[in-house]
Structure 1
Amino acid sequence: MKWGVWLIAGAMPEDNHQQVLQDSLAYGRAADELGYDEAWVLEHHFTGYGICGSPMTMAAYVLAQTKNLKVGTGISVIPLEHPLRLAEQVALLDNMSNGRFIFGIGRGVFVKDFKVFGVDMENSRDMMDEWVDVMQAAWTNRHSQFDGQFVKFDEIELFPRPLTLPHPPVHVVAQSPSTIEWTAKRGLPMMINFFLDDDAKRTQIDLYNEIAYEHGHDVDNIDHSISCLAGVGDTTQQIVDASRDRLIKWQEEFVRASMIFRKENMNMKGYEWYARQWEQNAIAGEYPVVERVDSNFKINPIGSVQECIDKLNKTVEITGVEHFLCGFESLGGGREQIIESMRRFKEEVIPHVETRRKSDTAQTTSPAENTISEIA
């Protein structure tokens, strides 16, 4: 099994920004010292939801301060940068870290980012497809050239060459069915979101496996990961009482800053799935942020040691995934308390989470035998 830690760097209005960043870096060092496998940094712009605007810079800093920890971008919003610049940065970090860098990517959902940086958000899916083609060509070929819809260049040679062959690992945050399909066609591992219950996670994996199988990928050996909020206390209620208000504010900031749920953006090409999710909540009479936060406490490994163990074992049993990315920082509580929660989780919870052979749950049957209507 693999265990990672999210370095979220979320800032409330009253927080000191330098302190927030220094705390996140401290959690990265603690993860390395405690024996976690990975740390993941985020990319956000113009919002306290996350104040790291350059995941490559932060990843480089964490890599330099740790010895064994792998560090990933979770995610790099790749349509906002030229793909060759990204390919160079990934290869550079791969070499400087001796192969400890992981490139997590996504197309982004924050409308303002695209407007400010002058990128047409409705092209984000096509751009991500082309960007990955450009980067993989640059990493795997001594010389490459490209004549695409968005990017054109004559023959170039990328320096430095990647240390990890054929290229550093690429993971994809995939939420909407169309992005899951795109990820599956390429056989890239998914990073599955923390707000989904286990059955919804399983449905995403079933959809992925059907399409990946059709395209010749070995679904038993794809390293999907599940993001989760995590925290160990005496009881779940103790953590809820201490962190619910902060978590609601944090999620409200996502809704406000992303702007993806505003009426004028509901019909944006490529983002229709988000509009449907919002409408379904409205029809059900639910206030999405509060309902989602309360659900998060129930479905994520938050609570007593035994509660965390039971929830994780259930997730492994249903999904077959054995790679978890834990967001201790999102629950707040101060640096010492968060590191103590990380320690208890590593020493008291993780040893009791049972592995399960992926072939027990992987859908390797013919596509006709799978059912994916729940998410399509």
Structure 2
Amino acid sequence: MRIGAFLLAAGFPGRTHADVLDSCVATAVAAEEAGFDDVWVAEHHFMSYGLVPSAITMAGYLLGATSRIAVGTAVSVLSTTHPVALAEQALLLDQVSRGRFRLGVGRGGPWVDLEVFGTGTDRVGDGFAESLDLLLRALRGGPVAAAGERFAFREVDVVPAPHTAPHPPVVLAVTSPQGRALAAAHGLPMLLGMHADDVEKAAFVRGYPAAVPDGRVPGAAGTGCGIGARGHVSVAVAHVEDTTAGAQAVLREALPRWLGPGLAGHRRVDDAPHRPRDPVAYTDLLCRLHAVGTPDDAVARLAGSAARTGIDHVLLMVEGSGDRGRVLENVRRLGAEVLPRLRRVRPAG
């Protein structure tokens, strides 16, 4: 299995933004030292759920703060940026990191971000496919032009050229059959979130081959997706303590304090009513679904998930305690007591 860290820079109450962001960087460095394969940064706007408004900017900083580990965005919100601008930034990081950068993209939601950045609601709807197509063409470097409904411009020479051929590795966040079909059409691996259980993730994986138009397999030679042996990526919560009850108690106390105000930060662009998840119920779900317990519990849960879903690349959300010292200790223990055992696991499929 390939094991990464998933960083939200979660804005827990009582912590300054400087402390949260500094801890995010420290956690990435600790993940490299602990033997994680990669670290991925989330992007959110105008809310305390996550304090990184530009995942690709933070990824660039983390690439400079580390030397071995791959660094990715999970995800850069394509609906609020120009695809060519995002491609230029990705190509720059691909070059200066000598191939350590990974680009995860997603459509985002119908949030006020679309109004603030002036992209409009269509970019999360029918316009997303056009945005993704232009992004992938631009990521190959060299000449690119557009004559679509939303993007139209004369030919330009996108620089720098990619270090990784034919372009930096790309994954697509998927939450619907339509998203799965779009990923398959481009031969892109799917990124499946921590809100989904193994049954749902397995169904997405099973349905993917039927949606691939020409038999390509994500991660296969020649696709330029090279994320892992099977390609798809799964996000899971991971927190270990000496006892199962102790680990769950830490998250049950901490997560609702963050999730309550954090999830309430979503504001729809159309002002339609939006009811966020109940933070206590969501915490209970995350504790039941994921690797929250002893190191033995974590190994069993993550290995079992790999067997049930066929996904051999998992990103662990390690910041659930909301405490810098505990987060760093969690990363250290995962690296010492969980990761070596998981790397011997071979998922079915």
TM-score under structure 2 length normalisation:
0.90
Question: 1:69 is matched with which residue?
Answer: 69
> What is the correspondence of 1:16-31 to structure 2 with a 5 Å cutoff?
16-31=16-31
Q: Residue 113 of structure 2 contacts residue 269 of structure 2 at CA under 8 Å; is this kept in 1?
A: no
Q: Please state if 1:249 is matched with 2:242.
A: no
**Aligned CA distance change for structure 1 residues 141 and 46 (closer, same or farther; 3 Å):** closer
> What is the correspondence of 1:7-156 to structure 2 with a 5 Å cutoff?
7-109=7-109, 111-140=111-140, 142-156=142-156
Instruction: Identify which of 287, 308, 313 aligns with 1:323.
Output: 313
Determine the C-alpha separation between the residues in 1 that align with 2:258 and 2:87: 32
More helix per residue: 1 or 2?
A: 1
Question: 1:298 is matched with which residue?
Answer: 288
**Aligned CA distance change for structure 1 residues 31 and 166 (closer, same or farther; 3 Å):** same
Question: 2:332 is matched with which residue?
Answer: 343
Q: Per-residue deviation at 1:237? A: 1.8
Equivalent position SS for 1:227: strand
Stretch deviating more after TM superposition (15-24 or 31-40): 31-40
Instruction: Identify which of 300, 314, 319 aligns with 2:304.
Output: 314
**Aligned CA distance change for structure 1 residues 254 and 260 (closer, same or farther; 3 Å):** farther
Structure 1 vs Structure 2 CA RMSD: 2.2
Q: Residue 141 of structure 2 contacts residue 162 of structure 2 at CA under 8 Å; is this kept in 1?
A: no
Question: 1:226 is matched with which residue?
Answer: 234
Determine the C-alpha separation between the residues in 2 that align with 1:192 and 1:308: 19
Determine the C-alpha separation between the residues in 1 that align with 2:187 and 2:149: 23
Q: Per-residue deviation at 1:110? A: 5.6
Q: Per-residue deviation at 1:23? A: 0.4
Determine the C-alpha separation between the residues in 1 that align with 2:289 and 2:269: 24
Q: How many residues align?
A: 339
Aligned AA (1:147): A
Q: Residue 260 of structure 2 contacts residue 278 of structure 2 at CA under 8 Å; is this kept in 1?
A: no
Deviations 1:234-274 (A, max 9, x none): 123212222223312333334322245998267xxxxxxxx
Deviations 1:12-57 (A, max 9, x none): 3421110100000000111111221111111111111011111121
Aligned AA (2:191): M
**Aligned CA distance change for structure 1 residues 246 and 60 (closer, same or farther; 3 Å):** same
**Aligned CA distance change for structure 1 residues 200 and 254 (closer, same or farther; 3 Å):** farther
Q: Per-residue deviation at 1:348? A: 1.1
**Aligned CA distance change for structure 1 residues 32 and 141 (closer, same or farther; 3 Å):** closer
Question: 2:216 is matched with which residue?
Answer: 217
Determine the C-alpha separation between the residues in 1 that align with 2:288 and 2:98: 39
Aligned AA (1:171): V
Determine the C-alpha separation between the residues in 2 that align with 1:234 and 1:178: 42
Equivalent position SS for 1:258: coil
Question: 2:6 is matched with which residue?
Answer: 6
Determine the C-alpha separation between the residues in 1 that align with 2:155 and 2:171: 27
Question: 1:271 is matched with which residue?
Answer: none
Determine the C-alpha separation between the residues in 2 that align with 1:143 and 1:350: 43
Q: Per-residue deviation at 1:228? A: 0.7
Aligned AA (1:25): V
**Aligned CA distance change for structure 1 residues 184 and 103 (closer, same or farther; 3 Å):** same
Q: Residue 236 of structure 1 contacts residue 297 of structure 1 at CA under 8 Å; is this kept in 2?
A: no
Q: Residue 227 of structure 1 contacts residue 327 of structure 1 at CA under 8 Å; is this kept in 2?
A: yes
Q: Residue 180 of structure 1 contacts residue 208 of structure 1 at CA under 8 Å; is this kept in 2?
A: yes
Q: Per-residue deviation at 1:219? A: 5.8
Report percent identity of matched pairs.
32
Aligned AA (1:250): W
Aligned AA (2:324): R
Equivalent position SS for 1:98: coil
**Aligned CA distance change for structure 1 residues 124 and 261 (closer, same or farther; 3 Å):** closer
Q: Residue 13 of structure 2 contacts residue 258 of structure 2 at CA under 8 Å; is this kept in 1?
A: no
Aligned AA (1:223): G
TM-score under structure 1 length normalisation:
0.84
Q: Residue 181 of structure 1 contacts residue 207 of structure 1 at CA under 8 Å; is this kept in 2?
A: no
Deviations 1:259-296 (A, max 9, x none): 45998267xxxxxxxx9xx9xxxxxxxx7443222011
**Aligned CA distance change for structure 1 residues 198 and 260 (closer, same or farther; 3 Å):** farther
Determine the C-alpha separation between the residues in 2 that align with 1:25 and 1:130: 34
Q: Residue 5 of structure 2 contacts residue 36 of structure 2 at CA under 8 Å; is this kept in 1?
A: yes
Equivalent position SS for 2:158: coil
Determine the C-alpha separation between the residues in 1 that align with 2:299 and 2:238: 11
Aligned AA (1:319): T
Deviations 1:307-349 (A, max 9, x none): 11111121011111111101111232x2222112111111211
Aligned AA (1:218): V
The ranges of structure 1 where at least 4 consecutive aligned residues each deviate by more than 6 angstroms after the TM superposition are none
Determine the C-alpha separation between the residues in 2 that align with 1:289 and 1:262: 24
Determine the C-alpha separation between the residues in 2 that align with 1:345 and 1:176: 31
Determine the C-alpha separation between the residues in 2 that align with 1:142 and 1:111: 34
